[in-house]
Structure 1
């Protein structure tokens, strides 16, 4: 009888779906007398992903401040004016002037299918038109930014009076996105290719995030940015350059901050985990992801 009691849990472990066992990747960072928690975010999700694992909830309760990529609740009025200059075309220019006729027709058709007035995109930079179409498609999908990890904790910080700080300003973030300008036709075309499969693709990304499956998450996101020029921009500018900027800003963050950034920022040779380890931070995984990155925790303080 005792042998059966030992065998049954083992069989269940082998037979149960992985998602019941694996968890999103979540880390404790320490160097000297400073400590932070680091969680990779997915920016849209479903209510069913909550509550989050106990390790994340315990750390949130202990933390003294929330750090996001951008504190969207604290954007000054003059910065919104700068946002308009980054995302909109100069006066007298329209989207039809900026992209090939066939791509413009596809963009207008996609807008109509999504219930957007096609004219609403005419004044936008092509890269921002691509983002606008994706956001609209997410609104009509089973996923919502309301349940994104960053928004979830921003809401909780507001409710609990916990201070919030951004790693960068909104104009800095949009400036990085605008740097795709040389390849923005590719970005818009790739977005239009992806839109019909968005629900399926995003469900796969969400599942990989829930499992903390680093390799699968990277592969899926690279599939979305399939053209090589876009992959290079994504890896070198949108990820690596920002990661290095954030690393320099980390020492100025409030002590015991709970840091939430896009999950893809964590991984790879230029990912935050590798950069932090190289800078002497001790990294301790606090959850049980599907693929745990090899961190020794041996970096000197």
Structure 2
């Protein structure tokens, strides 16, 4: 779940310049047999590689792009390629549009309890001394003192642990934007409507049904990566720009086998929980608005463009496979 949180929870945090952070691509340094295991796990996953796709069904058409939510100059070619497609589209669909981001910002300002638990028990009361010491140190490196960390909600803490201090610093000072935000800006400059795929408060509802034990396990599985989050950032970014989308997911699984201290069964349970809560359930919810958007666009002789986190594309529960099962023809455009 660690690298999943690092990737997916950038949902509304599109500023930053991860490419400037210094780290090691962990794919390049892992033993060949470990990389072979990851490759084998990825091989049978539908649509496991590729960022840019076209889905068609009769006169209906969608252009789908898997995004990375941090700024990077390597987004430029994709944005240039998509600009004429956006210009001719009826609408751009993204996870959260400008209106949803405004509502999120306003809600956080009005209700701190969305991220802070004012009633307890606190995190040092829920963790053992060792884990609390590691957590408070890691969060201090990310600009959050222990007294504040102690009352944060576990999902938010797990998210923060997956982001390196370098990335956080650059997110605070850099004007660079992730591909999602750049797509929105381009659409707005072309007077193309921007539609959200889900409500503004989705990030708060994703973990509403977790048990207290599951919440704490999220933090425990995130702790080992905190010390080398720059390496994780580089690994994730390089895999994304290579189009090796599902390799990101399986890297997180195999790394957790080695470093989390959990059994393989526990890791697999965490990964399945993450896939169910963060990816598959949301994918299923997106098919209806995407299909309806494409139907309305076809009536105008147009298609739609959709940009969302790249991990939502692959897999049996991925957007591409769900569309395919619904009668859409899927074609890779960046292969």
Same fold (TM over 0.5): yes
Q: Return the offset for 1:102.
A: 2.7
Q: Return the offset for 1:107.
A: 1.4
Deviations 1:49-72 (A, max 9, x none): 423275434323322322111224
- Residues 1:126 and 2:154 are matched in the alignment: yes
Aligned residue runs from structure 1 range 1-301, under 5 A = 25-52=51-78, 55-74=81-100, 75-76=102-103, 80=107, 84-91=112-119, 93-135=121-163, 137=165, 138-140=167-169, 146-181=176-211, 182-223=213-254, 227-253=267-293, 255=297, 256-288=303-335
Unaligned runs of 5+ in 2: 1-48, 258-266, 298-302
1:140 is paired with a residue of what secondary structure? helix
Detail structure 1 runs of 4+ shifted over 6 Å in the superposition: 141-145
> After the TM superposition, which of the residue ranges 178-187 and 140-149 deviates more from structure 2?
140-149
How has the CA–CA distance of structure 1 residues 178 and 77 changed in structure 2, closer, same or farther, with 3 Å as cutoff? closer
Q: Return the offset for 1:78.
A: 10
Cα distance in 2 for residues equivalent to 1:57 and 1:96: 49
> After the TM superposition, which of the residue ranges 70-79 and 254-263 deviates more from structure 2?
70-79
1:284 is paired with a residue of what secondary structure? strand
Deviations 1:100-142 (A, max 9, x none): 3332222111122233322232331112122234446321369
Aligned residues: CA RMSD: 3.1
Unaligned runs of 5+ in 1: 1-22, 289-301
Output the TM-score relative to the length of structure 1. 0.76
Deviations 1:12-55 (A, max 9, x none): xxxxxxxxxxx952111122322211111111242244232754
Q: Return the offset for 1:232.
A: 1.1
2:61 is paired with a residue of what secondary structure? strand
Q: How many residues align?
A: 266
> After the TM superposition, which of the residue ranges 234-243 and 274-283 deviates more from structure 2?
234-243
Output the TM-score relative to the length of structure 2. 0.69
1:51 is paired with a residue of what secondary structure? helix
Cα distance in 1 for residues equivalent to 2:327 and 2:118: 46
2:201 is paired with a residue of what secondary structure? helix
> After the TM superposition, which of the residue ranges 184-193 and 55-64 deviates more from structure 2?
55-64
How has the CA–CA distance of structure 1 residues 42 and 130 changed in structure 2, closer, same or farther, with 3 Å as cutoff? same
Cα distance in 2 for residues equivalent to 1:90 and 1:72: 29
Cα distance in 2 for residues equivalent to 1:26 and 1:77: 29
> After the TM superposition, which of the residue ranges 183-192 and 113-122 deviates more from structure 2?
113-122
> After the TM superposition, which of the residue ranges 79-88 and 204-213 deviates more from structure 2?
79-88
Deviations 1:190-214 (A, max 9, x none): 2221122222222222222212124
